[in-house]
Amino acid sequence: MNRRGRPQAGLGGERVEGRRAVRELLVAGRRRVRRVEMATGLAPSALLDEIAAAARSAGVSVRTVDPARLAGAALTEAHQGVIAHADPVPEADLDDLLADPGAFLVALDGVTDPGNLGAVLRSAEAAGATGALLPRHRAARLSPAAVKAAAGAVEHLPVATVAGVPAALERAARAGLWGVGLEAGGATSIHDLELADRPLVVVLGAEGRGLSRLARRRCDVLAAIPLAGRTASLNVAAAAAVACFEVARRRSGSVAGRPE
């Protein structure tokens, strides 16, 4: 949503708040940065020096702003004294993501919390995912809170929007990718996922309700994360981190195809 409560068009991401997110925005050079605003009186830090150097290298102006004014304009609670204004995050092409022989995609089936979205993208990118799929409707977009939580991952991880995750999974299957749905009652443990080294899409359900009925039906495997404690479940961000790094651990240099 924008500041007036209207839905954002496209992926969003025009406003980047937080030091690491702004640094990655500048270093990646993937989209035009119009300006960086930095609060006056910040304690010296290596990360601030890196931001200033990257901005100079990219020809981006850095404006110093009164801390109270910057805080009043911020859309997140942890802007850390740095805000950047940039072009929106470019949308990736779904067909391009599916054509990658080493595809390791993450699909978010109706995740609505921006913090969870950003955390999932951060874990996916860190684990080596090659892309992410987001529904166009009834799902979180790359708001300032999501971009902040992603800590720069949106600058490196291609993100495609899809009309719906079930339809995208059908297209993925035709392209030779396996669909792995993460579900508490899944018959397979994520630690026993033998097809982790093949082209695949890891599907994560919405907060509370989990996978939608159609998305569940389109998955080839439903995998669960074994829990040893008394906690009944993990939130989607924590579950995504476990699943993505388990897939990364099991993946090898050669990727097998999908059987006919």
How many beta carbons lie within 10 A of that of residue 69, not counting itself? 12
- 257 located within any domain: no
pLDDT classification of 29: cutoffs 50, 70, 90:
very high
Give the end-to-end CA distance of the chain in Å, rounded to a whole number.
43
Residue 60 C-alpha from the chain's centroid: 25
DSSP, collapsed to helix, strand or coil, labels residue 256 as: coil
Question: For the chain, what's the residue count?
Answer: 260
Same domain, yes or no, for 118 and 231?
Answer: yes
Predicted model pTM: 0.90
Per-residue pLDDT of 148-200, as tens digits, reads: 999 999 999 999 999 999 999 999 999 999 999 999 889 999 999 999 999 99
pLDDT classification of 5: cutoffs 50, 70, 90:
very low
- How far, in Å, CA of 100 to CA of 156, rounded? 16
| Residue 169, domain CATH | 3.40.1280.10
pLDDT classification of 259: cutoffs 50, 70, 90:
very low
- 260 located within any domain: no
- The C-alpha angle 104, 152, 116, rounded to 5 degrees, equals 70
Orientation of helix 19-28 relative to helix 46-58, angle to 10°: 30
Same domain, yes or no, for 105 and 74?
Answer: no
pLDDT classification of 7: cutoffs 50, 70, 90:
very low
The candidate with the shortest Cα–Cα distance to 181, out of 222, 226, 133, is: 222
Same domain, yes or no, for 111 and 25?
Answer: no
Per-residue pLDDT of 37-72, as tens digits, reads: 999 999 999 999 999 999 999 999 999 999 999 999
| Residue 56, domain CATH | 3.30.1330.30
Domain boundary, last residue among 86, 103, 119:
86
* Parent domain of 218: 94-250
Compute the average pLDDT of residues 90-110: 97
Same domain, yes or no, for 208 and 179?
Answer: yes
Report which secondary-structure segment, H or E, holds 49: helix 46-58
Domain boundary, last residue among 47, 69, 86:
86
- Torsions phi, psi for 76 (to 5 deg): -130, 165
Query: Count of domains in the chain?
Result: 2
1-15, 25-39, 46-60, range with the lowest pLDDT: 1-15
Domain boundary, last residue among 39, 59, 86:
86
- 52 located within any domain: yes
pLDDT the model gives residue 118? 97
Same domain, yes or no, for 36 and 115?
Answer: no
